[in-house]
Structure formats: structure tokens, C-alpha cells
Structure 1
């Protein structure tokens, strides 16, 4: 059986984005050299199609959607405590992640998928103060050139 060059070209074009996608590792930590209850890193800029692997490096943590900063219509998730979870991000936008039991202690992170949005989101004051402060700091880094 002979495969046409058009078939090879189309197959390559369809598989290329998957081959170029990256996996980024984020550690869930009780303590880091700079703070307690953190994701390391707490800000990622990734390409659409990339995967983020949340690693339970220290016990008592999870990774879950932070509804205050999540693109509309994108499915949410809640990881189990002390378990790794991988999420693939395909829709451009800003994604807030929280450790459910440690939100009040400020354990949040920001993932930027693709280009930065035209307008930064305005976060609700209903977020715990530490979480709000850390997320605003991450948003400021995202906006910096």
C-alpha cells in the first residue's frame, strides 16, 4: 500500500501540536524558603495544550479551581488531598488555582495560558486576605513586560 505525500503532510500537521505540548511541574508545599503554604512556582505562563502536573511534595494539599479567576465555560476540577493531578489547559486565559484546605492561608497560584488578556480581572474582596494579596501579586507579575 502506498501512502501519499498529502496523507503524510496532514498527519504530521495534526500531530505536531501534541508533540510540542509541554508538561510543567508545580510542587504543593507546606513551607518554602520564602513562605508557607505555597505552590512552587506560584505563577506559570504556558501555551495552549500544555499540561500542568501538581505534585504533592508535602502532605495536606490539593489543587483545585479558584472560581474567582477562571475562564467562563471551561470545566473546573478538584484534586484529592495528597495526590498528584494533571490538568491540560487548552483555552487561552487566566486560571486561578487554590489549595482547598489552605485558601485562607493564601495558597493560590495563577496560570496564564497563551497571550495575556486585554484586561486584568478584578478579584472579589470575598477572597481571604492572604489569598487576595498573593493573587494580586501574581496578576501584577503577569502584567509586567
Structure 2
């Protein structure tokens, strides 16, 4: 009886957590408010368990995690070209994201899941081209 009660309690807790999870939509655009080749919004503040849906509004883009800009334990990810992609935030920290072919043109995004535990490491990653300029205001939005 007691093991069944524990199992039922854990299942209810997991369902409640999933029901509270939010989904954020990020558009992949050829042109947006911040210029050419952008994710909108480029900064998302969320929580562990939330999902980010990258919508391929304009074709020719993808979503890829930036090496050195993912929380510890989060596996590298990369979507197909022109595909929508759902990223589930599985660990707290910052997630740096790029569009592989448009990275040097500044097509990047920064996602914060709860506490920015990897802020120092993520900010230390050397960026290419316009990506460096576009990351500066995103890092300023990170909540401590």
C-alpha cells in the first residue's frame, strides 16, 4: 500500500509540474525589428521545464546550441534547415542559440532558465561578426 501511495504522489507531482510549464514562441526571421537575420524575441526568460518553440516563419534558418553557452549536462542540439524546433529547458542557466548559416550575421538568441549559473562561461565565449554586437544587450537583460 505504502509504495503505491508514493508512486501515485510522485506521478501527481510530475503532472502538476508539466501542467505549469509554459511555452514561449520565437520566430526565425529574415528581417525583424533589430534588422536582418534575427530571432524574435532574441531574449527569453523562462524556467526549467518550459519549452521554447522556434517557428520557421521565413525558411532557410535553423536552431543550434552554441558550444560553451549551454548549462552543464545539456546535450548539444541542432535542428534541420527550415524546420520548427522545440527546445525543452532541462537545466537552469543560459542557453546560447544560433542559426548556423547566419551566425556571423548576428542571428543569435539567449535564453535564461531560472538562475544564470553559467553566466561567466557563456559570456566568455568568443562570438563572430555581428553576433558579438547582438549578444551585448542580451547579456544586459540577464536577471541575477
Normalised by the shorter chain, which TM-score bucket?
Answer: 0.7 to 0.9
Q: Deviations over 1:4-62 (max 9, x none)?
A: 98876554323100111111110000001331100000000011100111100001100
In structure 2, the residue matched to 1:24 is 24
2: distance between equivalents of 1:8 and 1:123? 45
| Alpha-carbon spacing, 1:7–1:71, altered in 2? closer, same or farther (3 Å) | closer
Secondary structure of 2:142's partner?
helix
8 Å contact kept, 1:123–1:132: no
8 Å contact kept, 1:43–1:110: yes
TM-score by length of 2: 0.86
Q: Which has the higher helix share?
A: 2
Secondary structure of 1:103's partner?
helix
1:75 aligns with 2:75: yes
8 Å contact kept, 1:120–1:139: no
2: distance between equivalents of 1:79 and 1:91? 19
Following TM superposition, by how much is the alpha carbon of 1:76 offset from its aligned partner in structure 2, in angstroms?
1.1
Structure-to-structure mapping, 1:54-133, within 5 angstroms:
54-117=54-117, 119-121=119-121, 122-125=123-126, 127-133=127-133
TM-score by length of 1: 0.85
Secondary structure of 2:81's partner?
coil
Gaps (5+ residues) in structure 2?
A: none
Aligned length: 140
Secondary structure of 2:69's partner?
coil
